[in-house]
Amino acid sequence: MIRPGIRRLFHLGSRRHDLVARDTADEIASHIEERAARLEAQGWEPTAAKAEARRRFGPLAEAERELTRAALRRERRLGLRDRLDAIAQDFRYAWRTTAAEPVFAALVVVVVALGVGANAATFGILDRLLLRGPDHVREPRELGRVYATMNVPGRGPFTGSSFGYVCYAALRDHAGAFSGVGAYTRPNETTLGSGERAEQVLQADATWDLFPTLGVRPALGRFFGREEDRPGAAARVVVLGDALWRRRFDADPGVLGRTLSLDGTTYTVIGVAPRGFTGAELRRVDAWLPMSVRGQRVADDWQTTIYAQWLRIVVRRQPGISAERAGIEATAAIRPVFAGTEELLATGDVSVRPIGFNGAGDEAMEAKVARWLDAVALVVLLVACANVANMLLARAVRRRREVAVRVALGITGARLVRLLLAQSVVLAGLGGAAALAVVPFASRLLRATLLPDVDWSGPAVDGRTLVVALALTLGAGVLTGLAPALIARRGDVLGALRSGVREGGGRSSRLRTALTVAQAAFSVVLLVAAGLFLESLRQARTVDLGIEPERILTVGASWPRAERDLLVAPAVSPRDRSRTFYATALERALELPWVESAAIAVGTPFNTSFAVQLSVPGWTELPDLAGGGPYIQAVSPRYFETVGLRRLAGRDFAAGDRGGSAPVAIVNQTMAATLWPGRQALGACLVIGDPATKPPCAPVVGIVEDAHRDSLEEPPAMQYYIPLGQEQGFGGSRLLVRPRPPAATMVEPLRRRMRGVDPSALWVSVDTLQESLDPEIRPWRLGATLIGVCGGLALLIAAVGLYSLVAHMVTSRAHELGVRVALGARRADVLALVLRRGLGLAALGVASGVAIALATGERMRDMLFHTSPRDPLVYLAVVGSLLVAATLACIVPARRALRVDPATALRDE
Amino acid sequence: MTAIPLMKGTLDLLVLKALSWTPMHGLEITSWLEQRSGGELSFDDSGVYQALYRMEERGLIEAEWGVSDNNRRARYYRATKKGRAHLDAETRQLVRYGELVTGILTATAKA
């Protein structure tokens, strides 16, 4: 007997209000009639019996109305419960069938997990970079960074985000458009403590109103206020970042009121910022100091000068003020600052842009990469979905008989679709759960490689990521289940019952073919993208920078700064102290057996470059090269062999070339060719320094090849070198060391050696020069590895899909193949038959993939380095690897086809 | 002697009790209750249906259309598992309550 509930389920659809009402009326009527009949049987008059039955029932009209209402409520409620019951039943059934095919289920789960996992991991990054912004910032959409754009004659517009305090003050006092204005410096490495416990921390300066402007509240204590940030009367107070507070102070709430030393100056702790607070940008900050305490370090007239620009400014727009309007207001506020002095700035435009933009006012490269990654992850998910749909289709075909039996037994189409959907949702759900187990690792890895500077103190998987993962999982479940379900629903019941599985349904096999082709196409697109990034990376790696950053270690040192209000002069002048340190450090380094060479330089590539006044006899004005310059460096002997620059002519500096000796100079190739074209540069004269002081002529004694100063790509510039000690008007040494072993492995040994050189130094840093270059190469390395991994995944998934399709074809056509063999087909013919089908599909996919890649590749152009988006080698490699994978995927089922025994195939009939 | 009006909520329980024996339609339940109470309980027949619909909505009973002994279309009701459990629990509570109240009301004053 069928449960009443189930029966109701199928009838309820048509049972509307009047039906329920009629049933209720029927029930009442039959009650009254039967009651009357019984009374009559007891000897009542027929009319009296009827009246009595009515009387006993109660007030009829009212009862009927109320009962109908109750019945309707009951039906609604029961209908809902039955539907829920049925859905639960579907899922129980789906679970049973899934568990019955564990290998199939495992395959699907892995594929879905990869797709969903890749998306969840990349979403976390995209969310932070593009959607959510920095933590603890109230209404980030109202906030904006201030940018200035000026039109440099001959160079075009230039946009920057560095301002002086005077600009901040002008904006702050310009009432109206802004509800808050704050200025800050980017976090700098600063030495905390001294001696053994000394460490480098990231410290930023902020005006007091930065915190209210961002809308952040301290986790402990307070932020500094207006009085503590008053220029000229600032308090030596510090607000700690959460990470430093936990690491250095064990999260002790008693830290308030304690003092600590930063760069040799003592500050009192007044507060701790909330966990993950990084100001308006995303880089970690360990210590916040009042701007007015630190301004003196920039310049004596730091409050009023227009020439020192070291701040970034954020504003909060008043409600209803657009970014355009805010820009106009800001322009009006800032232009007068420069009026009459700097015409370029006085006529420049000030704009207010999103706080996530980079220093040049564009969307950050990382954000672009993250956006790409998200798109790529989505493609992987689509490939995964196509694959799962394919597998489900194959299974649906395998189970045609079961489905047909169900249809024959009277299951409705809607119920069948629901049943099949439940199965794919169960599978996708398992995949989603598996993905969540992997996502924390994946996203940690991703964050560390994509954005190592960003403060990632939050959890690896937060609520938003979870919601996205859930939505993607459900979407994948429905998407993959829908096609097989709809096909099963339309399936020709009788045909399936009669014929069994041998003939795969025409519709479903066409769809499977299309899905397989789509997978191949998508993997081609991904692999092409990965290949282009890889080629960019290779190009970036092989750029001849002149110098060899991967071979060089730089050593720098810092000492406690002499306080400006300190009346007693220090025993040793800072200049002498530094000179002694580097001289000793150079000696000690050269004593090490693994050091190939070492030198001291003022002005280090990828670090600092200097330019001083220079005149050359024969030139009234030096030519202006696109790369700027001429740039000057002061270097000790053996500098060129240390950094790996080839000497083209003349000599190196010798021990005798130093401060006080006769001035000499070495120029680079470009300078020699520009200033003395076609002539001998050696012996030519450079007049270095202010001509008013009549500096002596420095003869050129050598020519070296060009070196990059700043980035991977830069136009040639004039560079010249003078002996260390002869520099005038610039300073700040570094020791450069060229070890024999790989530089990265020698950082610690060298640091240990260097620490003992001067006990009074606060901190001695040892870095590879390559580190300064890494942020430039990172986008390509990232793109190459991550998109490469995704592309590999997609390829693997597509190969599995192709394999299962061809295998299915072989199984379902075993009979036909057997007949062919029986009729005398050779093995090669059978093999060719199978391969033709599989490789034909693959070729179709590859062709469409190449077409898509060619059509969309142009969008990648500005992300590539010295690589055309149509690089033929990349395309060739991708097409080749795809065809190889496709052949491998076909060979296994093809060999199986060869083993088909004609006798068995014929007997089977 | 006049019939006693039903206490609120007890009709549900009595109907459920009736259905705990065997599936019945509305009139059968009503007749069973009249017989059992010897006609001393007063209620409208419509009240029985109110109770039936209410309990069906709560899943305590199920209903199904059938044909009565007199060849009429009738809705037959039957207690569900949940309904039986509910009846047991409520009965126990009501009996306890009755004993308690009776005990207090009929107690003779003690010195």
Amino acid letter, A56: R
Token duo for residue A358: 């980079």
Count of CB atoms situated within 10 Å of the CB of B59: 16
Mean pLDDT computed over every residue of chain A: 82
Contact list in B for residue A35 (CB cut-off 8 A) is: 27, 30, 45
CA-closest candidate to residue A841, choices A384, A515, A529: A515
Among A31, A77, A81, beta carbon nearest to B26: A31
Contact list in B for residue A70 (CB cut-off 8 A) is: 50, 53-54, 57
Contact list in A for residue B44 (CB cut-off 8 A) is: 56-59, 63
Secondary structure string (H, E, C) spanning A500-565: CCCCCCHHHHHHHHHHHHHHHHHHHHHHHHHHHHHHHHHHHHHCCCCCCHHHCEEEEEECCCCCCC
Supply the pLDDT for residue A237.
94
Amino acid letter, A69: R
The label of the residue with tokens 């899922």 reads: A91
Q: How many CB pairs under 8 A join A and B?
A: 69
Contact list in A for residue B33 (CB cut-off 8 A) is: none
CA-closest candidate to residue A738, choices A549, A547, A591, A551: A551
Contacts of A436 (CB under 8 A, 6+ apart): A117, A120, A461, A466, A469
Contact list in B for residue A8 (CB cut-off 8 A) is: none
Supply the pLDDT for residue A6.
47
Taking the C-alpha atoms of residue B100 and residue A584, their distance in angstroms, rounded to an integer, is 101
Selected residue of B34, B55, B57 to mutate for chain A interface (largest A Cβ count, 10 A)? B57
DSSP per residue, A110-165: HHHHHHHHHHHHHHHHHIIIIII-STT-S-GGGEEEEEEEEEETTTEEEEE--B-H
Supply the pLDDT for residue A570.
53
Taking the C-alpha atoms of residue A829 and residue A827, their distance in angstroms, rounded to an integer, is 5
Q: A614 with A687: CB under 8 angstroms?
A: yes
Taking the C-alpha atoms of residue A628 and residue A718, their distance in angstroms, rounded to an integer, is 8
Rg (CA), chain A: 39
Q: A747 with A768: CB under 8 angstroms?
A: yes
Supply the pLDDT for residue A561.
60
Nearest-10 Cα torsion for B5, B7, B8, B12: -90
Supply the pLDDT for residue A490.
62
Distance in Å, alpha carbon of A425 to nearest chain B alpha carbon: 30
Taking the C-alpha atoms of residue A126 and residue A356, their distance in angstroms, rounded to an integer, is 12
Selected residue of A34, A50, A84 to mutate for chain B interface (largest B Cβ count, 10 A)? A34
Interchain proximity B56–A67, CB inside 8 Å:
no
Supply the pLDDT for residue A642.
92
Supply the pLDDT for residue A155.
65
* CA angle centred on A368, ends A366 and A372, rounded to 5°: 115
Selected residue of A3, A6, A11, A27 to mutate for chain B interface (largest B Cβ count, 10 A)? A27
Interchain proximity A58–B44, CB inside 8 Å:
yes
DSSP state of B108: P
Contacts of A747 (CB under 8 A, 6+ apart): A553, A766, A767, A768
Interchain proximity A30–B73, CB inside 8 Å:
yes
Interface of B with A (CB under 8 A): 25-27, 30-31, 44-47, 49-50, 53-54, 56-57, 59, 62-64, 68, 70, 72-75
Among A26, A30, A67, beta carbon nearest to B50: A67
Q: A798 with A386: CB under 8 angstroms?
A: no
Interface of A with B (CB under 8 A): 4-5, 23, 26-28, 30-31, 33-35, 37-38, 56-59, 63, 66-67, 70-71, 73-74, 77-78, 81
Selected residue of A23, A30, A33, A39 to mutate for chain B interface (largest B Cβ count, 10 A)? A30
Contact list in A for residue B68 (CB cut-off 8 A) is: 30, 34
Q: A900 with A863: CB under 8 angstroms?
A: no
Residue in B with minimal Cα distance to A70: B53
Interchain proximity B50–A5, CB inside 8 Å:
no
Q: A803 with A896: CB under 8 angstroms?
A: no
* Residue A410: φ, ψ to 5°: 100, 15
Taking the C-alpha atoms of residue A788 and residue A784, their distance in angstroms, rounded to an integer, is 5
Distance in Å, alpha carbon of A81 to nearest chain B alpha carbon: 10
Alpha-carbon torsion (A59, A64, A65, A71), positive or negative? positive
Token duo for residue A337: 């600052």
Stretches where chain A sits below pLDDT 70 are: 1-16, 154-155, 175, 196, 365, 397-398, 400-401, 450, 457-458, 460, 487-508, 560-572, 905-909
Residue in B with minimal Cα distance to A23: B75
Selected residue of B25, B31, B41, B46 to mutate for chain A interface (largest A Cβ count, 10 A)? B46
Q: B25 with B76: CB under 8 angstroms?
A: yes
Taking the C-alpha atoms of residue A587 and residue A758, their distance in angstroms, rounded to an integer, is 13
Supply the pLDDT for residue A491.
55
Among A27, A38, A78, beta carbon nearest to B75: A27
pLDDT in tens, B56-87: 888 899 888 888 777 778 889 999 999 999 99
Residue in B with minimal Cα distance to A73: B57
CA distances from A743 to A216, A542, A599, A771, B106 (A): 43, 18, 15, 11, 101
Interchain proximity B63–A63, CB inside 8 Å:
no
Interchain proximity A4–B26, CB inside 8 Å:
no
Residue in B with minimal Cα distance to A78: B57
pLDDT in tens, A600-630: 998 888 777 788 888 888 888 888 777 777 8
Mean pLDDT computed over every residue of chain B: 85
Interchain proximity B57–A70, CB inside 8 Å:
yes
* pTM of the shown model: 0.64
DSSP state of A725: T
